[in-house]
């Protein structure tokens, strides 16, 4: 929950100052944690505006999205 709060606070600050927020995501346990913790954190900080985020997958593999090794696929689920 603390990480999700930090992300949303940083996002709100970036969106207000530059109009966008850039976030690099890895896979592993981060996927489930963010899926659980980020929505309530975003609700608490509406100025974080996810439509203004640029999201990149830092450790993406060249596999189909439905492959268990796909970081992007894991976030899409």
CA-based nearest residue to 75, from 62, 63, 60: 60
| pLDDT of res. 10 | 97
Task: State the angle between helix axes of 29-44 and 2-18 in degrees (0 to 180), rounded to the nearest 10.
Answer: 60
CA-based nearest residue to 34, from 57, 72, 4: 4
Q: What is the pLDDT of residues 13-38, one digit of tens each?
A: 999 999 999 999 988 888 889 989 99
- The dihedral sign for the CA sequence 43, 1, 72, 57: positive
Spatial separation of the C-alpha atoms in residues 22 and 47, rounded to whole Å: 15
Q: What is the pLDDT of residues 39-77, one digit of tens each?
A: 999 999 999 999 999 999 887 778 898 998 888 888 887
| pLDDT of res. 37 | 95
Tell me: pLDDT of 9 over 90.
yes
pTM (whole model) above 0.85: no
Q: Which domain holds residue 14?
A: 1-76
Q: How many domains does the chain have?
A: 1
């Amino acid at each position: 929950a603390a990480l999700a709060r930090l992300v949303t606070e940083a996002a709100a600050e970036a969106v207000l100052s530059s109009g966008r927020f850039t976030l690099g995501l890895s896979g592993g346990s981060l996927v489930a944690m963010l899926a659980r913790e980020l929505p309530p954190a975003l609700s608490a900080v509406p100025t974080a505006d996810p439509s203004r985020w640029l999201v990149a997958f830092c450790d993406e593999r060249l596999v189909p999205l439905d492959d268990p090794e796909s970081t992007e696929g894991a976030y899409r689920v």
